[in-house]
Amino acid sequence: MTTSAELRASFLEYFEQRGHERVVSSPLIPANDPTLLFTNAGMVQFKEVFLGRERRDYSRAVSSQRCVRAGGKHNDLENVGYTARHHTFFEMLGNFSFGDYFKRDAIEFAWDYLTGVLKLPPERLWVTVFTEDQDAADIWLNELKVDPSRFSRCGAKDNFWSMGDTGPCGPCSEIFYDHGPEIAGGPPGSPDEDGDRYVEIWNLVFMQYNRDAEGKLTPLPRPSVDTGMGLERLAAVMQGVHSNYDIDLFRSLIAAAAEVTGCGDLGDKSLRVIADHIRATAFLIVDGVTPGNEGRGYVLRRIMRRAIRHGYRLGCAEPFFHRLLAPLIAEMGAAYPELKAGQAHVERIIKLEEERFAETLEHGMRILEEAIAGMSDGVILGETVFKLYDTYGFPTDLTADIARERGLALDMKGFESAMAEQKERARAASQFGATQSLEIEVQGETDFCGYDRLQEEATVVAVYKD
């Protein structure tokens, strides 16, 4: 079996042998980029190089980049536990050309690596190009002789990439793996492409144009290449399993999660969520985020509390989440020494958050259960969602996660008006000089101020939304 660690090494080595500089993963907090919540792709640390604002002494690079997609433009949090292929934290393998090679080499490298080095059968692969990208189509069909019946042209939604509203952009070519007819889902570009049968493994982006403020595209003098392949998805393919959660690394983490929670069913969805979330949690803390009530810290808190609630669902009354750090280090510590170095700190932060949430989790769950037992229309009242949020520290997405498990919906409109009412009360109170007593009252029930936090959340949404 090819382990995840061996695949990472093999990819880096393949491109290093072809003149690429091996660049270490950058942290999850992007340097100098306040518009981006977390590093969500391999290209992030090279953004300035692609824009021509920064020079490096190499024009080809290869990396295995740690990524988090749990907020902002790319948010896969809601997919975790539901699809076979999405994580909040994952590693993106990528090769990059900064005005050096372009389409032909990028495509040839990718095909050679998959079919030549990893020996994947071409009849299990599927290739897409952007509808208007005839150059890429010619290379795939005429030069590499890819089977035209396993090839499709897709529109801009999936196959045209841009860095922002202006700046470098260009067509993509994506490579999918066909996990076989036993799994539901159609090929890319077909009406039922959303299934899990054809899994996208590698995205090749050809940065070919510059888009100006009027939307006009002009060819870049030195086009570039940015590619990204999910290590966990590739490992699933190479290990002959369909779900990322069945690869070596996740099997160990899931077994460890089963042990610390006392769950006897290794297939339980909550174990997958916990195994996913310990990675995001540990790496975010190592990279300097701490759970808090705003911005990145609040995203981390949401991830942690979701995991803690899944442990609670499995019957865990004691803090368990921090105990997964040692098993995570056993899996990933060699590739990421910072994880081992930060072990004590990370464990402490996680345990603190577990203890903190334990103070309100059980009571909040009781309130939610009562509300669910007493309702008739399958919708959890906005007032309840707000009370859980404001008094019991349940982020709304955590309540939504529970609702989804049970086929229920949340009344988010009602939640928002409950919030607006509370803000109004706070405002009125402050006009009469009574803020202090209100704050004390709020803090008596919980240790943070609900409306402040929400304001922050609203800001985060406004700032980081597409």
The least CB distance from residue 406 to ligand ATP, in Å, is 25
Q: What residues are paired with 413 via a beta bridge?
A: none
Would you give the binding string for ligand ATP spanning residues 191-210, x where CB under 6 A is met?
---------xxxx-------
- Joined together, the tokens standing for residue 9 give 């090494």
Q: Name the DSSP class of 188.
A: T
The least CB distance from residue 188 to ligand ATP, in Å, is 9
d(CA 437, CA 440): 5
CB 345, CB 285: distance < 8 Å: yes
**Residue with Cβ nearer Mg ion (237 or 286):** 237
d(CA 242, CA 231): 14
Beta strands (DSSP E) in 212-296 are 217-230
Q: Which does 228 bind (CB under 5 to 8 A by kind): ligand ATP, Mg ion, none?
A: ligand ATP
**Residue with Cβ nearer Mg ion (190 or 443):** 190
Measured from each CB, the residue nearest to Mg ion is 203
Of positions 64, 203, 227, 384, contacts Mg ion by CB under 5 A: 203
d(CA 421, CA 59): 56
Which parts of 216-235 interact with ligand ATP (CB under 6 A)? Answer: 228-230, 232-233
Q: Which does 250 bind (CB under 5 to 8 A by kind): Mg ion, ligand ATP, none?
A: none
d(CA 67, CA 69): 7
Which parts of 425-444 interact with Mg ion (CB under 5 A)? Answer: none
The least CB distance from residue 354 to ligand ATP, in Å, is 25
**Residue with Cβ nearer ligand ATP (23 or 70):** 70
**Which residue is it, tokens 């392949």?**
229
The least CB distance from residue 165 to ligand ATP, in Å, is 18
Burial of 157: CB neighbours in 10 Å, binned 0-12, 13-18, 19+? exposed
**Residue with Cβ nearer ligand ATP (236 or 460):** 236
d(CA 394, CA 454): 12
For residue 210, state whether it binds Mg ion (rule: CB under 5 A): no
Q: Which does 302 bind (CB under 5 to 8 A by kind): ligand ATP, Mg ion, none?
A: none
Single out the segment in contact with Mg ion by CB under 5 A; choices: 191-199, 202-210, 277-285, 308-316: 202-210
Cα–Cα separations (whole angstroms), residue 230 to 141, 361, 389: 25, 34, 34
Would you give the binding string for ligand ATP spanning residues 83-112, x where CB under 6 A is met?
--xxx--x-x--------------------
**Residue with Cβ nearer ligand ATP (276 or 390):** 276
**Residue with Cβ nearer ligand ATP (93 or 324):** 93
CA triple 228-42-325, angle to 5 deg? 105
The least CB distance from residue 175 to ligand ATP, in Å, is 8
The least CB distance from residue 365 to ligand ATP, in Å, is 28
**Which residue is it, tokens 């492409």?**
193
d(CA 120, CA 18): 20
d(CA 309, CA 303): 10
Number of residues located near Mg ion, criterion CB under 5 A: 2
- Joined together, the tokens standing for residue 287 give 């990279």
Q: Which of 113, 115, 102, 110 is nearest to 128 (CA)?
A: 110
Q: Which does 71 bind (CB under 5 to 8 A by kind): Mg ion, ligand ATP, none?
A: none
- Strand-pair category, 379-380 with 409-410: parallel
Of positions 20, 60, 69, 272, contacts ligand ATP by CB under 6 A: 69
d(CA 139, CA 226): 18
Q: Which residues bind Mg ion (CB under 5 A)?
A: 200, 203
Q: Which residues bind ligand ATP (CB under 6 A)?
A: 69, 76, 85-87, 90, 92, 200-203, 228-230, 232-233
